[in-house]
Amino acid sequence: MPPLRPVSPAGSEPDEGDDLIDVEEHDPLYVPLEELYLDASASEPPELDRERVLPPAFSEHPWIRRAYVEAFIAVAFHGATQDCAQYMLECARSRLVSFSLTSGYDIPGLARMAVTLRTAERRLGLDANEHITYYFLCDVCWDRHHPDELNDLPGGGMCVKPGCSGTLYEKKLYSDGKRRRVPVKVLSATSIKQSIQRMVLRPGKLAELNSWRSKVDDEPGAKPPLTFEEWAGSTDGNHRLYDMHDGWAWTSLRAGLERRQGGRWSIEDVDVHDVNQRFVALPNGLILIFNIDWFRALKRGNYSVGAIYLTICNNPRSKRFLPEETMLLAVIPGPEEPSLEQLNSILEIFVPELLELYNGIDVRVPGEEQPALVHGCLIANASDLPAARKASGLRGHTSKWFMCPVCKQPLHSLTDPRCFDPEEVELREEERFLKYAFRARDADPCTREEIAEERGIRWSALNLLPEWYPVSSTPTEFMHGAFLGEAKHLVQGILTVGGMFAKRSRKDNPQKKFEAWMDAMWWPGTAGRVPKGVAGTGKADQWRNLVTVLPPGLYESWQVDGDIPDAEAPPLKSKEKNAIKSKRVAELVRERRQAAAAYDQATTLEDLEYIEQTAMNKNYRSHFEAALEWCTAIRIWGSQSITVAEASRAQVCHNQACQSWALMNCHLTPYFHILIHLVLFIRRFGPVYAWWAYMFERFNGWLAKVNHNGHKGGELEATMMRSWVKNSLLHDLIIQLEALGEAKAPEDEESIRDLKRCLRGEKRTGQNRGTLLSSIAAMTAQESGELIQYPKQSRKYNLRTEDLYTPIFRHVRDMWKERVKLVSDISFARDGSPFIAIAVPFYSHIVIAGQRYGASTTRRGQANRYAYIDGRQAVEITHILRVTHTTEEEETLTADLAIVRPFIPSPAAADMPWATRAADLGIDVWKPSQRGPPQVVDVRRFSGHFALNYIGYKGSRRLWVTMSLCHDTQEPDRIDDFEGDSERLDNY
């Protein structure tokens, strides 16, 4: 038997010198391209009966089922060959046959036991190929064909579409002397209907998809859709949006529509049966969003692969963006991105399914004899700007006249402050986009280009869907817009290239100060970091962290004796790189201002001369105030929940910042204008957490790390798709095994344990980094009720010898006074219960609502030793312990406690330039390196994390500054007086 090799680490990447990742032929995910299209007679018949609720292996004996799982794990996770798996299965069958013969025990299904990995996977429901369709495309026009058509096409392999010279397939000579057709470009796709059916077969899944119905009005029934005026958020600014179902779109969607010709705009959605039915009030009305994006599949080179994901928003937020809850609809073959016309060939696969789903499909439900009717409606494209515009048929964001699809502001208006005032812009009628999109569908190429140029729209297959509109269904994706767009441009484009970090003297270099301050930052161990240096690249999480710490960072680099100077930054030296870039940027801004003046009839010669003379305003205080307003807006918008009023207030802050930069002649990108409409999408779809692209980007990274053997014609992409589907099927198998109940055998328990261990890998509780992973952990804890998680290891101490007995005794005595009368262990009182604490477990860390907190007195707790309690009171955590006490009635009382030392507020906080925005920004100032007396608190009072650093103040004084990393809601006010049920440790 070949030796087993360890599986590659989850984050491993190819060597620097390799363009490709070679995969051995026995790799279970690798299938040569030509084998995907072998005749059906040449392959084994599928083992999965589509009418069954459970895979065939669940009708076999648990011993056989266990043998299948062992063989699968050996190949999929430990590098065994398929020959090795067959040997394992044959040995298992031989042992079972021998046992049956000698014992007389009949083992059901033994005669038909699978002895090949492929058959075993089918019996377990793990054959990914049964859920994937391998379409083949023309390599020029991307004309799409079903695999059944391959052998029916005319000879020669040329594209059958009139006027196209592309190739569909080549002929390859096999070792058996036969020639077979092998497609040149393969598209791997899955079925939406089958994916939903597979999800609903999970026990309790359909009920979980309806768990969002928390109010009486949410219950299914005959209910009309709500107009915007009827939506609670239209009149109540305090209406809080926790999820997508709190937004207006959720209750405004209509059921029973058909998109037909007619009406004012020649295209309209018609309620054909006049039911006037709210879509989500259907018994199982599913709301869907999709993401489409391209990523580099190889570490070197420009081979770009696309992916289309579909997510069910009825899922709880803690599950919505998990891989097993997300459908990978297609992996789009590279090496280049397709045009919209080519992309339509792919979207047309899914549009008929979405139309059928909108009208309702029957699905089988575990434990139910009758099928359930499920409806689905696609309402949003949650993709980055280029991908979203392409899929919806809109012109790109650098288009001269169609930079913004919401309003009519042209690209050159980015130099005008009115471009960032919603009251000054003229909104478009998006029905007009839809009208001309349908005209473009049936037009000749020249007319299509004319429509695109004059009307800003191309045909997208998505326009066939009821309730789908090119603009309102394409929200501005916040992660790309705010962090990878605006934040990066602010630091690198406005401040760095603009010269705001220019050296002021030999000993005064703002850029070095800024970078040194960032390097000195203390971050919690579970938080990310910031981009390296002002010119560094970074991920969205890193730019988000930079937004959090930017105001104090700018203050530290610019301040003079505690104040931001009301003065101009010195000019850059002419030979500096930033000076050269600055000249090019200034010329671009000047050209835009000239273009704006050319379209303004009131422009005079004096205006044109003034434009030639204008330069960027480099006043430190003006830039700081603008950055402060901008950071405030991004912080508020980025909250996990947000009220309508808060979203509008953030909009005002963002608009004011952009207007200030425009008045200062700064170079602004289209994102700065496009985000002035973000509040419209927040009202429509709820908080940005509900629909942003963090996890989709993470999925792309996961696919990019899938081992593959090359990139010929879709072979690489097919391997990625099989890997994704296999992962989902594995989760389904675990759920099916766990749902066996009393029928679950010990062998099934072992299979569940082993499969979970393989999927989990080396991850540990509280170790995930990143915005969405952290929020998912927190939401999972809240929904499951598992608020507190302790590590397995602890050390036990006697509270007396640690001088902790008295304060902890007082704390638990008051805490449990309604249930027991505690007395000291040295008390002579006869009517109380002595509090004995000679072996109290102390822990290095604890995880609360998905957030990790550590004790500073332990090595493992150092990285998370600082935290907030009661809102925004910063503390150092010195000990974490769990106290238990058993009463005379045999009742066990438990207290989860921590000993903390609070930071001491500094009176200088009122003098800081961010003082008026401190609550919004989550920034507080404290006396440096000073902490109050230790106190006992319940660990449930922990309320989040912060970044910590020093800042300079008047003279040579230094202060501590904390910057909140909490994003659950808008920042709470700090509790300056540290009160509550805590006890001071006077003798600690």
Contact 464, 355 (CB under 8 A): yes
User: How many other C-beta atoms can be found within 10 angstroms of the C-beta atom of residue 967?
Assistant: 22
**CA separation for the pair 538, 533 (Å, rounded):** 10
Q: Which long-range contacts (CB under 8 A, 24 or more apart) does 591-597 make?
A: 592/411, 592/412, 592/414, 592/415, 593/412, 593/415, 595/412, 596/412, 596/413, 596/415, 596/416
DSSP strand pairing (942-944 vs 267-271):
unpaired
**CA separation for the pair 912, 923 (Å, rounded):** 10
Reply yes or no: is the peptide bond before residue 386 cis, omega within 30 of 0: no
**CA separation for the pair 166, 34 (Å, rounded):** 19
Listed in order, strand segments (DSSP E) in 185-253 are 186-190, 240-241
**Alpha-carbon distance values, 74 to 64, 65, 128 (Å):** 16, 14, 17
**CA separation for the pair 775, 321 (Å, rounded):** 11
Token digits of residue 935 = 């106190």
Which amino acid makes up residue 447? T
Question: What does the H/E/C string look like for 498-520?
Answer: CCCCCCCECCECHHHHHHHHHHC
- pTM summary value: 0.89
Contact 330, 349 (CB under 8 A): yes
pLDDT at site 28: 56
**Alpha-carbon distance values, 400 to 410, 429, 592, 612, 675 (Å):** 6, 18, 11, 22, 18
Which one, of 314, 361, 351, 299, lies nearest residue 329 by Cα?
A: 351
Q: Which residue has the tokens 């032929």?
A: 25
**Alpha-carbon distance values, 597 to 328, 606, 617 (Å):** 48, 11, 20
Kindly give the interhelix angle for 694-704 and 715-738, rounded to the nearest 10 degrees: 110
CA atoms within 13 A of residue 185's CA, in its CB half-sphere: 24
The residue ranges of the chain whose pLDDT is under 50 are: 1-26, 39-50, 762-785, 971-988
Contact 293, 387 (CB under 8 A): yes
DSSP 585: H
**CA separation for the pair 907, 841 (Å, rounded):** 39
- Burial of 573 (C-beta count, 10 Å sphere; 0-12/13-18/19+): exposed
pLDDT at site 175: 75
Bridge partners (DSSP) listed for residue 381 = 290
What is the phi/psi pair of residue 427, to 5°?
-75, 150
Listed in order, strand segments (DSSP E) in 814-864 are 822-823, 833-834, 840-843, 845-848, 851-854
DSSP strand pairing (822-823 vs 833-834):
parallel
DSSP 676: G
pLDDT at site 711: 60
Which one, of 895, 682, 850, 633, lies nearest residue 233 by Cα?
A: 682
pLDDT at site 38: 60
pLDDT at site 231: 96
DSSP 136: E
Classified as helix, coil or strand, 758 is helix
Which one, of 183, 83, 848, lies nearest residue 526 by Cα?
A: 848
pLDDT at site 768: 45
Token digits of residue 664 = 């200062």
Q: What is the dihedral of CA 806, 809, 811, 812, to 10 degrees?
A: 170
Which one, of 461, 542, 546, lies nearest residue 496 by Cα?
A: 546
Which amino acid makes up residue 745? A
Sheet holding 788-789, edge to edge: 788-789, 845-848, 851-854
pLDDT at site 382: 95
